[in-house]
A and B are shown apart, each in its own frame.
Chain A
């Protein structure tokens, strides 16, 4: 199994090649990584790409579903907040 590492808001987080970004984050003990427009925390909910709760910014690109995107070694993941009212 090939080990990889991604950067999450400045932290180095280990993962395995083939894992989705959501799996890497969950395996690292993180449950939430997004805030809604009223500030409520969100992480994975549906796990199959239907709910869009798990969005992250990957290498500067916003709105990537963490449960759908496979993590690549060196990916820079930033946590994102929805626009507030």
Chain B
């Protein structure tokens, strides 16, 4: 039986696992959390179940059906608490996959190494947040953090919150905040009506196919209207104020290119602000495996979801940000192909529909370069190493360097705890803007050979991997 290894238990990974099983492969599914579902179906843990959980999610019954099918299957092993920290490239074969199983950031976790016939990476995405003065104050959260805390913990990030950024993801975040009794002061979307219309209003017949998604968004819009929460377009949070935590924010109107319009600033008292400007594919493992990545940072795949590395497939946000429906369709295709089968035509059709939807999303809410104008020289850009926008601009100007590697080493930007996950793309944008020519090695900040930190004790122990005595 073919052995397929799936990394990531979100919608794409779950769909891939079930499809590979239907095509007769044995599957091991690695999930870092203690249950499957991913960020989309993030829910209360076992033992603290909420009978009303269904009301927190779209497609909850679909999730329950997927999870039940996975759990009931003896030839599908779900390993939770599985933290993949590196992969070893091999010629003509998928890489070896190194995992520690146990508590997040723990010690003495069980080392395992997998040698799969096919590897499906479904590691999802994380949020991109554009910096602004004060964005490192406690009380500034990514919108995803607010959503994770609401859905997975039932904890509110503040009493009176402003939600800001770009993209339809702001709307379910507002919905989650309202459910746990948070007052939402305003929703502030950076795209101006013209940008939104260019993305959403052209070729409306294409949207018909994705009407399930459109209906979901309309539901959120009705919720905002019913609560009389202002939804403002063409504006952004350009500063957060406070000493030890957020006490207020400044919102300004934006030009078409997202530069603040002087004189339009408004101060709004809030105790928290949630910000999101889109998502970045989580590509550590794919990059380490050697998979080709496009200019947008997404892993390049062919029609069968195969990457440039033999036996390695990807599905979901890793191939481009597109949401749950696209992730499910891509997972279905990747799982079938990984097991040596042919993808179902239905899944191929769904993928086409939701890729078009994703393209609209990018057109309507894509980041415009004018945002750099709301960063003063003192604005922290790299939160881990406290590197400011001024330091980055100055270094690029003084050294005349176009090499991102050397600029990182000089400024320390992207070299801290998060390894550039939070600031990497922003650092590249700022440095690119400095000389107008561009960087010699764009995308460099996404290279992280070690996908998550491992403790030295575990590293020394990892050669005694317990599931594969035959491997080095």
Chain A residues at the B interface, C-beta cutoff of 8 Å: 1-2, 16-20, 22-23, 26-27, 31-32, 36-38, 40-53, 55, 61, 63-65, 67-70
Most buried by B among A31, A37, A65, A67: A31
Name B136's closest neighbour in chain A (CB-CB).
Answer: A40
Q: Which of B159-208 contact A (CB under 8 A)?
A: none
Q: 8 pairs across A/B with beta carbons < 8 Å?
A: A20-B152, A26-B157, A31-B245, A46-B142, A47-B146, A48-B127, A51-B422, A69-B105
- Nearest-CB residue, chain B, relative to A43: B138
B400 within 8 A of A: no
Q: Are A50 and B141 in contact (CB under 8 A)?
A: no
Interface residues, chain B, with chain A CB atoms under 8 Å away: 32, 34, 39, 44-48, 103-107, 126-127, 136-142, 144-149, 152-153, 155, 157, 244-245, 282, 380, 383-386, 416-418, 421-422, 453
Report the minimum CB–CB distance from A25 to chain B (whole Å). 10
Q: For residue A41, which residues in chain B have a CB less than 8 angstroms away from its CB? A: 137-138, 244-245
Given known pairs A26-B149, A32-B245, the reply for A51 and B139 (CB within 8 Å) is no
From A23, A31, A50, A61, contact of B244 by CB (8 A): A31
Alpha-carbon distance between A34 and B157 when the two chains are bound, in angstroms: 17
Chain B residues whose C-beta falls within 8 Å of the C-beta of A17 in the assembled complex: 47-48
The secondary-structure label for the interface of chain B is: loop
Q: CB distance A48 to B45 under 8 Å?
A: no
> Within the complex, which residue of B46, B105, B141, B282 is in contact with A44, where a contact is CB–CB below 8 Å?
B141
Is B421 touching A50 in the complex (CB atoms < 8 A)? yes
A38 to B282, CA, bound (A): 29
Inter-subunit contact B44/A18 (CB<8 Å): yes
- Given contact pairs A32-B245, A42-B136, A69 touches B145 in the complex (Cβ within 8 A): no
B104 pairs with A48, CB closer than 8 A? no
Known: A36-B386, A37-B385, A50-B421. A23 touches B149 (CB 8 A): yes
User: Which listed residue, A18, A22, A65, A69, touches B45 by the CB 8 Å rule?
Assistant: A18
Residues of the B chain whose Cβ atoms lie less than 8 Å from the Cβ of A31: 138-139, 244-245
Q: A20 to chain B: which residues have CB within 8 Å? A: 152-153
The chain A residue sitting closest to B274, CB to CB, is A47
In the bound assembly, the distance between CA atoms of A79 and B282 in angstroms comes to: 29
Tell which of A16, A37, A68 touches B386, judged by Cβ atoms closer than 8 Å.
A37
In the complex, A28→B461 CA distance in Å? 38
C-alpha gap A27/B138 in the complex (Å) = 14
Q: How far is the CA of A17 from the CA of B386 in the complex (A)?
A: 35
Task: Verify A42–B138 contact, CB threshold 8 A.
Answer: yes
Residues in chain B near residue A61, CB distance under 8 A: 105-107
Can you add 15 more A-B contacts, CB < 8 Å, to A23-B155, A52-B384? A2-B47, A18-B45, A18-B48, A19-B155, A36-B383, A37-B385, A40-B380, A43-B139, A44-B145, A47-B142, A50-B127, A53-B418, A64-B104, A68-B104, A69-B106
